[in-house]
A and B are shown apart, each in its own frame.
Chain A
C-alpha cells in the first residue's frame, strides 16, 4: 500500500521531537480522528533554521509530517508558505487516495506553526 519512500520516512522519520528554542508552534488534527501533528519551527531573519515534529497517527501521517519538515528546512517563510499537500505527497512518490488527507494535515501543520510565529511577533 505504501511506497518505499513512505516506509523510509515511517521507519526513519526526520526531525522527530520537540524543538527547544522553537518560536512558532502549530498543532493540527484532533484525538477524535486519531491524527495529531505538532510542528515546531525556529525562524531567524525570515529563514527556517530549525524544524521538528511530533505526530500521533498512521504510517502516512508520520511520513507526511516528516517529509513536510524536510521540505521547509532552510527555506524562507515565504517559500514555506507555498508548501502544498500535493508537493508533500509527490515527494513521497504518492500516497493511497484514502491517505491523501494526511498530506493536507502536514501542510496545515507547517502553516499553523508559521501563523503562530507571526502571532508571537505581534503581526
Chain B
C-alpha cells in the first residue's frame, strides 16, 4: 500500500484505552518524540506500557481474524437499523449511504436536539452519541456536519450509533423499532 506512516488508536478495535500504534516504513527516520532512556528504539523514551502493549496485541489479533464474516454480519445489522430509523419523519442519514464503515450509522433528526435524544435512548437501554453543542460542551455543533452544509439547527439534532461484533440482532431490532415511540415526544 506504499504507506510511510500509519497511526492506530487501539480503543477503536476494542484494545485498551491509552494505547496506540505508529507504523513507520522501514528506512524512514523520525525525530524522537521524547528524549531520555532511549526506549522504543529511541523514538519514544520512557518505560513501556507492557500491559497496554500486550492488550492491543491481543485486540489486534482478534480483530484481524474473521474480518469478512464480522463485516458482513455487522453491515446487515447496520442496514436494518438505518432502514428502521429513516422511517421516522424528518430524519436523514449523514455520510455516503454505500461507502461507509460497517459499524457506524449517523443521523440527523430535525426539531429534536442531540443531547435529549441521547438521554431518551439511554433510558431505553441504548447508548448513542451526539455532535450537538449541548452534548459536547462547546458552542458549535459538529464541524463535520457544518462542513457538509447542514444548517446549525439540523446539526444540533445529530445522533451516532455504533455497532460491533458483540451487538445482537434482537438488540438491533429493538433499537430500530423502539426509536419510534420516544421520537413522538419533544419535537419543537
Taking Cβ atoms with an 8 Å cutoff, the residues of A that contact B are 2, 10-11, 13, 16, 31-36, 38, 54-62, 98
Q: Contacting B113 at CB < 8 Å: which of A38, A54, A57? A: A57
Residue of A nearest to B182 (CB): A11
The 3 residue pairs across chains A and B that have the minimum distance between CB atoms: A31-B153, A56-B188, A58-B134
Whole-angstrom distance between the alpha carbons of A9 and B175 in the complex?
A: 24
B15 within 8 A of partner (CB):
no
By size class, the interface of chain B is 20 to 34
Give CA–CA (A58, B186) in the complex, Å: 10
A-side binding surface: helix, strand, loop or mixed? mixed
A74 to B111, CA, bound (A): 30
Cβ A36 vs Cβ B139 within 8 A:
no
Question: When A and B form their complex, what is the total count of cross-chain residue pairs whose Cβ atoms lie within 8 Å?
Answer: 58
B111, closest chain A residue (CB): A56
Binding site for A on B (CB under 8 A): 111-116, 119, 123, 132-135, 137, 139, 141, 151-153, 156, 186, 188
A35-B134 contact given A56-B153, A62-B116, CB 8 Å threshold: yes
Q: Which residues of B contact A61 (CB under 8 A)?
A: 113, 116, 134
Chain A residue at minimal CB-CB distance from B140: A32
Q: Known contacts A13-B186, A61-B113, A61-B134; decide if A34 and B156 are in contact (CB<8 Å).
A: yes
Given contacts A31-B152, A31-B153, 4 further A-B contacts (CB under 8 A): A56-B112, A56-B153, A58-B119, A62-B116
Minimum Cβ distance to chain A for residue B141 (Å): 7
Q: Which residue of A lies closest to B135 (CB)?
A: A58
